[in-house]
Structure 1
Amino acid sequence: MHIEIDDLSRPEIHALLEEHLRNMREISPPESVHALDLDKLRSPDITFWTAWEGPALIGCGALKELDSLHGEIKSMRTPEALRRKGAGRAMLTHILEQARARGYERVSLETGSFDAFKPARQLYESVGFVYCGPFGTYCEDPSSMFMSLRL
């Protein structure tokens, strides 16, 4: 597996992010979909990575700088057909290493409260994330759960 910074220009990434947005819209009410589209992921405060197994895109993830000590994980996704093979854990490990290298003291994330998000929440819990209240510009939302990890 190879993880690299990505410029979001390849069609494989467009397809994976479209799958991600479509799935979030199917599961969550419109006001609770916090997934970012291509334009928002190109923001200068976001670094976006992709994971590849040979020529196959097997996952993606991003790290948004909230301030000099706090980052937010965004757009963690593995193609539905390739789940449960370690790409999500590898991407999460990579993002946390990058957050530590930047000197962040904390990394947070927003995820869904529905059962479909349970595997993601279990992955985050397995590396030490704990549940917390909203952070940044988020508000309380019954469709969202917030998690944070002290680094």
Structure 2
Amino acid sequence: MEKKCINCSQRFNCRDSYISWLFFIIGLIAAIAIRSVTFLMELGDIYAKIAWYLGVGGFFIFFVYKFRINHRRSRFIKANKLMEKVSGRLELKERDYEWIGSLLCSLSAKKERINYFVIFGLSALALVIAIYMDFVR
């Protein structure tokens, strides 16, 4: 029996590609690196510069990947006229339901939520450390 990823209830049958995991890790490393710059400046300019380049370069790579994914989704929606079918309440074929289910499932990916949580948490931590280093100590 072929495993199919049709909707989120069958998500356990789905496998994220190695590429998506690679870019997820690149995004996390970039988030950590860019938020550690202020702290690393205390250790030496070279460490801060390395972290800055890793962070900005990592974000550049990560967001090029995310742009390509979103662009593909947009083209897919237009090519299959999913917006017109849904907004016009036109009859959907079985394949349309599969496509919409797949799109909705991909929009609720756990990796994306983890990425946002890490970015938010590290940003808050970096802000607290920077305020402490600049104004308290």
Would the TM-score normalized by the shorter structure come out above 0.5? no
Flag the structure with higher helix content: 2
Where on the TM-score scale, by shorter chain, does this alignment land: which range?
under 0.3
TM-score (norm 2): 0.26
- Structure number with the bigger relative contact order (C-alpha 8 A, sep ≥ 6) is 2
